[in-house]
Structure 1
Amino acid sequence: MKISAAVAGASGYAGGELLRLLAMHPGVAVKTVTGSSSVGRSLGELQPHVHALRDLRIEETSPDTLAGHDVVFLALPHGSSGAIAAELGEESLVVDAGADFRLESAGAWEEFYGGSHAGTWPYGLPELPLAEGGRQRSRLKGARRIAVPGCYPTSSLLALAPGFRAGLLEPADVVIVSASGTSGAGKAMKPHLMASEAMGSMSPYGVGGVHRHTPEIEQGLSWAAGEGVSVSFTPTLAPMPRGILTTATARVRPGTDAAAVREAWASAWEGEEFVRLLPEGQWPATQSVLGSNYVHTQAALDPRTGRVIASVALDNLAKGTAGAAVQSMNIALGLEETLGLTGGGLAP
């Protein structure tokens, strides 16, 4: 029998991407989709690209509606998952695509998000190398609750974690700049996301260390380094529907050469299906990973300044959100980790 799944927040971008991937997953049957203002409408009306599930009707998002499924995906606004998850039993694997359970520090949550901290769940970035050895994958096996990483943190952690785990990078003076497509801001109408405002233009936002993903990036890099890492993070809005290109730089420790950098990144991603280190001299491009769960990365040493420059391209809705959720589900339920996720990117 197939795994029964429910998706809350089915009308949004993250919910739509989850449904697209789950509809192609050979081991999952989506039984329930929920929303708020869209209750009663057909999924085909709201997510017309998910052909296989077009006849499902949007139901109210409530614990009663979501209960009884093998897996429940929560693709809800930040701060909305905690109360619902608290009412769901351990018989359901709950995978939260929001931020409610990502942070270990209640203080960081209150500072960057406001309100009460709902708690901390295992972090759904399987490939993340840890300072004590192993990877985050081991913490997801058999889990009943999983927090999917943010899209910016996913790209930032995959960019620099190899260098921190190998002990090559200094934990201070880390600078990360990311460009994201407009879908990263969600589906709600906002003037600055209108085509006439966003197309043909780029702009930074969340400048000055105030973006909500900053503590999550520092948390994950600290797990890889085995010590506290401080980060200056600046996101930018790019004129494209989806995709993230992150460029990260950090000071190297004395004695680190280009060969050591290449070895650290190659060793970190050897054997990983979804994170690919490109050949030397080839740099990531968002188009190469569009619509896929794959990540392209590259790193180089600038010997003049003593800094590593690492770049990552991923699809913010796939590996950055929904793909990570499905990948984590596969691990937690003992399925093949790559099941339903090995489709390539779209080009041109």
Structure 2
Amino acid sequence: MTISVAVSGASGYAGGELLRLLASHPDVTIGAITAHSNAGTRLGELQPHLHSLADRLLEETTVQNLSGHDVVFLALPHGASAEIARQLPAETLVIDAGADHRLEDPAAWEKFYGTAHAGTWPYGLPELPGRRERLRGARRIAVPGCYPTSALLALAPGFAAGALLPDDVVIVSASGTSGAGKAAKVNLLGSEVMASMSPYGVGGGHRHTPEIEQGLSAAAGTAVTVSFTPTLAPMSRGILATATAKVAPELLKELVNTDAATIGTEAGEASIAAQLRRIWLDAYEDEPFVHVLPEGQWPATKSVQGSNHVAIQIAFDAHAGRVIVCCAIDNLTKGTAGGAVQSMNIALGLDETSGLSFQGVAP
């Protein structure tokens, strides 16, 4: 089975990462490679690492150029995917790596993105409860944002198991500069980011906040409120998310006296920690890309760089009665292009790991 694919936005980071993965996919033939302002340019000038595709010329991103393929990947800025997707045939598998089709709530979309809501597609994060089934046979898929990918993988098991409270969730994530895209920006200059970290989107203003709440609420079966703070780290790629939530009193009852906020003994604390860890181990036991690390080993972005793998560690803060989950991903691979290819594999009935079997890069 040979699948013809087209990739739009091929001059950007997400588009380039898609091409890197697809070039090694055993079941794929790469058709149209398109861009907007860079149309007519030799791909190797903009993506010099893609040696096997270097002499291909970027075509205009038009419906005509994207049509006629089995799969179309849209790696476009938010607001640019919906109109193109509407004009592509219903039988074409369209995978949107942008934000246009992720959110279910039109009001949330309009608040954070300022345009009309384009509708909601099946969500391309198969490790979430029930998502893999919705992706099988799908012909429209919305790839999650990179921050939501790490945050949801960090906390969804605990909410799905009823082990966490929904109203006091705090997530702080550090991302590499590629998460901001390829456009030139003063705050992303090397002299600005080297040996420095800085927050942005503070106070609930980041566009990925409603997407994180949407995913965690679906796992919990009730509304989850999230305080999300992203930070910019001096690295080109990677996300390290530190996510915390209050442990449900029901899980603490057997180990407390009368006050659910007070843990009784060291043995009790160890028991809670073990119960929490078991929830995550069970959730990801059969997942090919998500790895709950051995106790005492903590995730590092370098260990998953360039791969579709996810590294997770869980701890229990007895003093605060909170679970702490650290999750490391590569924002361009598992956070974008890898998730898109993984979703394509599921939708088309291919081996889910096809084209994604490579390991991380170190040092």
TM-score of Structure 1 vs Structure 2, range by shorter chain: over 0.9
Shift of 1:69: 0.3
Match of 2:267 in 1: none
1:67 aligns with 2:62: no
CA distance in 1, matches of 2:277, 2:177: 33
Gaps of 5+ in 1: 130-134
Match of 1:336 in 2: 351
Shift of 1:91: 2.3
Q: Deviations over 1:155-182 (max 9, x none)?
A: 0000001110111000011000000000
Of 296, 299, 314, the match for 2:329: 314
- 166-175 or 36-45, which moves further after superposition? 36-45
Match of 1:132 in 2: none
CA distance in 1, matches of 2:188, 2:138: 37
Match of 2:242 in 1: 247
Match of 2:93 in 1: 93
CA distance in 1, matches of 2:223, 2:196: 36
Partner SS, residue 68 of structure 1: coil
Match of 1:142 in 2: 137
Counterpart residue identity of residue 59, structure 2: E
CA distance in 1, matches of 2:132, 2:201: 31
Partner SS, residue 197 of structure 1: helix
* Number of corresponding residues: 343
Partner SS, residue 246 of structure 1: strand
Determine which structure has more spread, i.e. the larger CA radius of gyration.
2
Match of 2:268 in 1: none
Match of 1:270 in 2: 285
Match of 1:326 in 2: 341
Shift of 1:16: 0.3
1:32/1:56 contact within 8 Å kept: no
- TM-score normalised by L of structure 1: 0.98
Counterpart residue identity of residue 35, structure 1: A
Identical counterparts, % of pairs: 70
Shift of 1:52: 1.2
Shift of 1:55: 1.9
CA distance in 2, matches of 1:38, 1:32: 14
Match of 1:226 in 2: 221
Match of 1:42 in 2: 42
Counterpart residue identity of residue 338, structure 1: T
1:172-321 pair list within 5 angstroms: 172-254=167-249, 255-256=251-252, 257-321=272-336
Gaps of 5+ in 2: 253-271
1:165/1:224 contact within 8 Å kept: yes
1:180/1:237 contact within 8 Å kept: yes
Partner SS, residue 346 of structure 1: coil
Shift of 1:196: 0.4
Q: Deviations over 1:308-343 (max 9, x none)?
A: 000000000000000000000000001000001010
Counterpart residue identity of residue 194, structure 2: M
Match of 2:109 in 1: 109
- TM-score normalised by L of structure 2: 0.94
1:119 aligns with 2:125: no
Shift of 1:201: 0.5
Please list every run of at least 4 consecutive aligned residues from structure 1 whose deviation after the TM superposition is greater than 3 angstroms.
Answer: none
Counterpart residue identity of residue 176, structure 2: G
CA distance in 1, matches of 2:133, 2:84: 26
Match of 2:7 in 1: 7
Partner SS, residue 21 of structure 1: helix
Shift of 1:227: 0.7
CA distance in 2, matches of 1:153, 1:166: 19
Q: Deviations over 1:261-311 (max 9, x none)?
A: 011011111010000000011110000000000000011111111000000
